[in-house]
Amino acid sequence: MIKVLVIDDSALVRDILSEGLARDPEIQVVGSAPDPYVAREKIAKLRPDVLTLDIEMPRMDGVQFLRYMMPQYPLPVVVVSALTEKGKRITMEALEAGAVDFVTKPSSDVARGLEIMLEDIRQKVKQASMTDVSHWKQRTPTPAKVRMDTALSTSTDKVIAIGASTGGVQAISRILTQLPATLPGIVIVQHMPPGFTQTYAERLNEQCAIKVKEAKHGDRIMPGQALLAPGNLQMTVKRSGGVYLVHCEPGEKVSGHCPSVDVLFDSVARFAGANAIGIILTGMGNDGAAGMLSMRRAGARTMAQDEKSCVVFGMPCEAYKSGGAEFLISLDNIPHKLVSFL
């Protein structure tokens, strides 16, 4: 049984979440708390396996609570988020502070949306229970930015493709914030609902030397810029003469996802070939494994995040086992390895 503690300032929401989670025979709701202060006491007493956490609460919001809690009691946390602009921004902060995933509250058609949200949170609680967040117990300082002896060419003859899922918000941020603005163009698929990708891209843009934006159909892949796939579109790389462009279009789920890492990597293999570098990061499942194998067969250099530094060693493990990833690299060493490839 997965023991869950529900944290929300609304008694009605606590009851709804507790009842909805308890429908799954593998989940046991061991308690609930109206705010982080009560939650702290119940964590020590009840020893839950997973927390669900509302992030917009009085007295102490969920982000403050995570920053306080994770170094003392590193537990997998699934955030319950609003779809407002404020809700999107604070959700990104919560993921950076240690939360492993999030679900969104229904904003319309509440009856139907509530059932979808409850099914979503049951699945994510079970996934969260299998994640390892022990690294938050002893956080290491963020490494210094990678320096390069000489500036790279300003041509677009290189493409860096990155794929991630659960835990990827932190991992991508940790990599991109270390990179110099002279790198070739980067394309990224992070499994995330529509609406949140723009907020995430804006937040990364504030933190990084490179420019980061949510991709739009026809955007050019340029040095010093990272393009993040929109949360509801398949993103592919195409070549037009001497430049690379992204196409962002509606499509069916591939490997269970839209956007899909496999779709992006397959297109990079086809149109960039040996001029590409592929990186696959923490995440549940196997999205990206087949695409990375296609990239490697086309001559690209490839790497995957190692198990110790992953929140979930699913996607990197599958990419390595299939032969797609040449190397397993710790998260903090990925930027240095990337520069060595270049």
Phi-psi region of 59 (alpha: psi -120 to 50; beta: other; left: phi over 0): left
| Six-digit token string for 140 | 């290491």
The answer to whether residue 32 is catalytic is no
Q: Of 61, 113, 69, give the one whose Cα is nearest residue 90.
A: 61
Helices (H), the chain: 11-22, 36-46, 62-69, 85-96, 110-128, 168-176, 196-207, 261-271, 289-297, 315-321, 334-341
The answer to whether residue 165 is catalytic is yes
* Maximum Cα–Cα distance across the chain: 64
Residue 188: other Cβ atoms inside 10 A: 29
The answer to whether residue 134 is catalytic is no
Please list the residues that pair with 31 across neighbouring strands.
Answer: 5
Q: Which one is catalytic: 49, 54, 81, 191?
A: 191
- Relative orientation angle of helices 85-96 and 168-176, to the nearest 10 degrees: 80
Q: Which one is catalytic: 165, 173, 294, 309?
A: 165
| Residue 304 parent element (H or E) | strand 301-305
- Say how far apart CA 17 and CA 11 lie, in whole Å: 10
Q: Which one is catalytic: 49, 219, 287, 306?
A: 287
- With 0-12 / 13-18 / 19 or more C-beta atoms within 10 angstroms meaning exposed / middle / buried, residue 160 is buried
Place of tokens 């490997």: 255
Place of tokens 């509440």: 110
Residues labelled as active-site residues: 165, 191, 287
